[in-house]
Amino acid sequence: MKNRRTFLLAFLAVWILALYGAAVFAATPNKCIQCHTNDALMKSLHKPPVLPKSEGEG
Amino acid sequence: MYKGYVVDKALLDKDPHFKAGCILCHAGNDGELSKEKAHLRMLKKPSDNLRSCGVCHKKTAANYAKSLHYTTIGQRTGVMPRFSEAELKTFDEKVFEKSCRSCHASCGDCHVKGAPVGGISIGLVAKHKFVKKDEGKTCAFCHGGRVYPEYTGDYGGAPDVHYQKGMLCMDCHKKAEFHGDGTAYKSKNEVPQRPACKSCHPQGKEAKKETQVAHSLHDGKVSCYGCHSGSAYRNCNDCHGGHAAAGPGMILGRSPRDRKVLTTLRLIPTVRDTFAPAGIKMEHFDAVPNYWDTPAHNIKKRTERTRKCDVCHVDRKNFLTKETLIKNGAKANEELIFVPKAIAR
């Protein structure tokens, strides 16, 4: 009886932790897209590359 | 070109490539807002490593690893007959991997982002959408020095009739040709999937009798381009030696790969001192012509050569001659000179 109760409590604890973890994961924002989906921000941050002296290609 | 870094938000929910987040491919740190911290140990172009795409696209990536677009070995195959054994070794160590191979295309260069050419890139092709094709932003960039602008007419000649009919690169150059079949071909001429005019234009089915006769008379002796190249195309000289020169021209001569066939030739930019900075003299420079047979991408159904036999057989217009050979070129160039038979009247 005691063993069965312990098992049920452990099983419940695992499930609660899993659901909590999933919620945390889902809630964590991907900060990459906050910048990279913002046209105006990309424009302000972009620095044109300095081109090397090189021959053409193609 | 800041737009090359902008991602379409709408893709994030729809496209399975984004389900596991940016860091799956790009690494870096998606929990940071500061650019420096977010980009720490970030992979800018993860598709440059075929294994990135190969996680899901196993067979395609495995085949592509041996394809010519990835290995670029065709460039080595073309130039190596000019080298001695020792020179070839130097070329492999000092030139091919460091310079020629920079032209290889990764998965991303066709499907996600434009390939950099001369330090310039348009960035993401379609806001990070994984496109099947977008020739104007991918093929046109790497092949924009010669073939693509000839095809569209932007080079100044007449556009190719296929372009006028709405066809782009992949209408003839199919996926199988690019992805490869797992065979490491040494040259584009070995690739069985490369396009052939007769695949769509079979001989004997022409609408007019005189066309059938003309084709029958010249079959095996003149390539399709020999008659149907519509205008001058770009010829390049000494582009890698720092004295780049290029100009329009149509050159008719024997194909270096099959001397029985007359075709359009294109001057290629390897001159005697092209590899001198690497200590390579090219001991067998004279053994290989400076002109390759070129599938000029400026096809026209009717040209002055299809209209009138005299253009070739009497006027000998555009034919390579001793006088028009490039100066200080390979001795092998003379073998490409072809004198057409005069027509008996």
CA proximity to B111, closest of B36, B207, B251, B17 = B17
Name B19's Cβ contacts closer than 8 Å, sequence gap at least 6. none
pLDDT in tens, B131-148: 999 999 999 988 988 999
- Inter-chain touch A58–B146, beta carbons under 8 Å: yes
**Taking residues B324-340, what's their average pLDDT?**
96
Name A12's Cβ contacts closer than 8 Å, sequence gap at least 6. none
Helix, strand counts (H, E) of chain A: 3, 0
Considering only CB atoms, B9 lies closest to which of A28, A37, A58, namely A37
**Taking residues B7-14, what's their average pLDDT?**
90
For an interface test with B, the pick among A32, A44, A45, A50 (most B C-beta atoms closer than 10 Å) comes out as: A32
Token code pair at residue B303: 């040209």
The rounded distance, in Å, linking the Cα atoms of B307 and B289 is 31
The rounded distance, in Å, linking the Cα atoms of B141 and B169 is 12
- Can you tell me which residue has the tokens 């080595």? B76
Consecutive H or E run containing B68: helix B68-71
Token code pair at residue B16: 């399975």
For an interface test with A, the pick among B15, B23, B30, B95 (most A C-beta atoms closer than 10 Å) comes out as: B30
pLDDT in tens, A16-34: 766 655 555 554 568 899 9
- Band of pLDDT at residue B245, cut at 50, 70 and 90: confident
The rounded distance, in Å, linking the Cα atoms of B47 and B127 is 16
The rounded distance, in Å, linking the Cα atoms of B6 and A40 is 10
The rounded distance, in Å, linking the Cα atoms of B152 and B174 is 19
Chain B residues in contact with A58 by the CB 8 A cut-off are: 117, 141-146
Considering only CB atoms, A57 lies closest to which of B8, B35, B117, namely B117
pLDDT at A55: 53
The rounded distance, in Å, linking the Cα atoms of B261 and B281 is 31
Token code pair at residue B260: 């029985």
Name the burial class of residue B102, with classes exposed (0-12), middle (13-18) and buried (19+) by CB atoms within 10 angstroms of its CB: exposed
The rounded distance, in Å, linking the Cα atoms of A42 and A47 is 10
pLDDT in tens, B250-259: 999 999 999 9
Name the burial class of residue B197, with classes exposed (0-12), middle (13-18) and buried (19+) by CB atoms within 10 angstroms of its CB: middle
- Inter-chain touch A31–B31, beta carbons under 8 Å: yes
3-state DSSP call for residue B244?
coil
- Can you tell me which residue has the tokens 């070739």? B312
Token code pair at residue B196: 């052939």
Q: What are the residue ranges spanned by the domains of chain A? A: 2-45
- Band of pLDDT at residue B33, cut at 50, 70 and 90: confident
pLDDT at B241: 63
The residues with which B292 forms a beta bridge, in sequence order, are: B266
The residues with which B150 forms a beta bridge, in sequence order, are: none
Q: Rounded mean pLDDT of chain B?
A: 92
Q: With contact defined as beta carbons under 8 Å apart, do A35 and B81 qualify? A: no
* A24-28, B20-24, B264-268, B290-294: the lowest-pLDDT one: A24-28
Name B118's Cβ contacts closer than 8 Å, sequence gap at least 6. A51, A54, A55, A56, A57
**Taking residues B291-310, what's their average pLDDT?**
96
